[in-house]
Amino acid sequence: MLTLITILIALDCVMLIGVVLIQNPKGGGVDATFGGQSANQMFGAARSADFVEKLTWWLAGILISLCVVAAVISSAAGNVGNSQQKGDKTEQPAEQPAGQQPAGQPTGQPDQQPK
């Protein structure tokens, strides 16, 4: 289920990118580079801008909703913030025998070098 939602999020992102690129940055309607002239003739300049703007808002809302649903499903499955499986124990350092000190740790006695 999470894989399906992830695919839907990716598709929504691609469509949202396309719709944002189609918009005219000055708010004048659909850009002529992406077939804006025929869209302006078919819908009229004001109606095509309204349609693209509404589509942008709808795609953004769908994206937010899908992200929330993915987060809820992921947290319900226990996949968020867990890098280890449940029940796994973290590795503990091996215990040293009583008379030995690990390398690099002081023994509590000053170093005595033969003269």
Per the model's pLDDT, the better-predicted residue between 32 and 3 turns out to be 3
5 confidence band (pLDDT: 50, 70, 90)? very high
User: What mean pLDDT is predicted for residues 103-109?
Assistant: 61
Per-residue pLDDT tens digits for 69-89: 999 999 987 755 555 555 555
Residue 19 has pLDDT above 60, yes or no: yes
User: What mean pLDDT is predicted for residues 9-34?
Assistant: 78
Per the model's pLDDT, the better-predicted residue between 99 and 65 turns out to be 65
- Beta-carbon contacts of 84 under 8 Å, excluding residues fewer than 6 positions away, are 90
Domain ranges of the chain: 8-77
The CA-based angle 75-79-84, given to 5 degrees, is 140
pLDDT at position 62: 96
* Lookup: tokens for 19: 């719709």
C-beta of residue 70 within 8 angstroms of C-beta of residue 12: no
Per-residue pLDDT tens digits for 23-74: 876 645 555 555 555 555 555 555 667 888 899 999 999 999 999 999 999 9
Query: How many other β-carbons are positioned within 10 Å of the β-carbon of residue 8?
Result: 15
